Structure 1
Amino acid sequence: MPAKSQAQQRAAGAALAAKRGEISKSELKGASKEMYKSMTEKELEDFASTKHKNLPEHKD
């Protein structure tokens, strides 16, 4: 399932980095923290791999 906004894509990327141990999970805030807790690494990869082009900054 692709991300629906650029903000969602970035949050998924941060959560994915924490899952992989590239950053500390204590650095996560808000949506990325919730994504870290509730999503698998594969789900996060799907969201994070979405291209920014033609995505709104935030979903209405």
Structure 2
Amino acid sequence: MQLKLVNMLGITTATAFSIGFITIDIVNAALWGLSGAPDIMIGQSLAQTTRKELEKCPSKQPS
């Protein structure tokens, strides 16, 4: 894709494309981290609740 841009529009366009792509990658990594933390906390909370409910009823405990 970059080669086509360089051939059609020049090196300035390819440089702008590269900088934009790197910026989007950095922002995506930050947002991935921010959205992953609540998922982990919610999953751990649900697992803990399930385990407490299992302890109340001994017949349902996994062997």
Task: Please report the TM-score for the alignment, with normalisation by the length of structure 2.
Answer: 0.29
- Structure with more of its chain in helix, by fraction: 2
Task: Please report the TM-score for the alignment, with normalisation by the length of structure 1.
Answer: 0.30
Larger Rg: 1 or 2? Answer: 2
